[in-house]
């Protein structure tokens, strides 16, 4: 049975239960039950962006020179960072550089919290497959990230990394996002903290 039918049945039965036991229950308890039911119903539409394990991310592109070489400037422009695979080539990985669970996608897109175009960062591991070696690619036609194994697609241009199609949409799982901070030296720092 679908979750909608379950919740519909809950809202038909719940008033009967509350009415039947009203004399025995305290009004505070009734309010708490109503709030819990409301929270359960509204949480069904949320996307879980924390399925992929929380591995450390720290990529220092804090200088103008590093940002000019490895950063992203135009909308849809992207760069992939993966320490294990040494991507991008010639990037000087240090002992303090970490690239998450499946690598990091850095892309210029719309930050919905500020309504400005900014660098955005996501973990490249597919949250449906839940493996560091199953990583997303970028579709050059629409700049969606897609999984070659489960065929799920994700919106990476709006700052959310939410599912667009496939198993990820059905399971309501999205990409883990990382923070991108502007530095005082003309570049950015990408972190998980």
Residues 21-74: tens digit of each pLDDT: 554 555 554 444 444 444 444 445 799 999 999 999 999 999 999 999 999 999
The band of 189, judged by pLDDT with boundaries at 50, 70 and 90, is: very high
**Cβ neighbours of residue 159 closer than 8 Å, sequence gap 6 or more:** 109, 110, 111, 112, 113, 118, 120, 177
Cβ proximity of 168 and 177 under 8 Å: no
Query: Per-residue pLDDT for 7 more than 90?
Result: no
Burial zone of 93 (CB within 10 Å; 0-12 exposed, 13-18 middle, 19+ buried): middle
The percentage of residues in the chain with a pLDDT greater than 90, rounded to a whole number, is: 74
How much is the pLDDT for 1? 45
Classified as helix, coil or strand, 60 is strand
The band of 19, judged by pLDDT with boundaries at 50, 70 and 90, is: low
CATH match for 57-191 among 3.40.640.10, 2.102.10.10, 2.40.37.10, 3.20.20.70 = 2.102.10.10
Residues 142-154: tens digit of each pLDDT: 999 999 999 999 9
Residues 90-149: tens digit of each pLDDT: 999 999 999 999 999 999 999 988 999 999 999 999 999 999 999 999 999 999 999 999
């Amino acid at each position: 049975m679908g979750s909608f039918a379950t919740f519909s049945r809950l809202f038909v039965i719940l008033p009967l239960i509350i009415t039947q036991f009203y004399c025995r229950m305290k009004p505070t308890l009734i309010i708490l039950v109503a709030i819990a039911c409301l929270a359960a119903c509204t949480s069904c539409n949320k996307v879980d962006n924390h399925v992929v394990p929380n591995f450390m991310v720290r990529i220092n592109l804090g200088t103008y020179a590093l940002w000019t070489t490895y950063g992203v400037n135009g909308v849809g422009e992207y760069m992939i960072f993966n320490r294990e695979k040494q991507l991008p080539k010639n990037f000087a990985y240090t002992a303090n550089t970490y690239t998450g669970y499946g690598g990091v996608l850095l892309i210029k897109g719309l930050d919905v919290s500020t309504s400005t175009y900014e660098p955005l960062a996501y973990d490249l591991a597919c949250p449906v497959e839940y493996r560091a070696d199953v990583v997303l690619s970028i579709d050059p036609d629409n700049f969606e990230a897609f999984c070659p194994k489960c065929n799920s697609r994700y919106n990476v241009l709006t700052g959310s990394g939410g599912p667009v199609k496939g198993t990820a949409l059905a399971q309501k799982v999205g990409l883990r996002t990382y923070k991108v901070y502007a530095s005082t030296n003309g570049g950015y720092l990408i972190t998980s903290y």
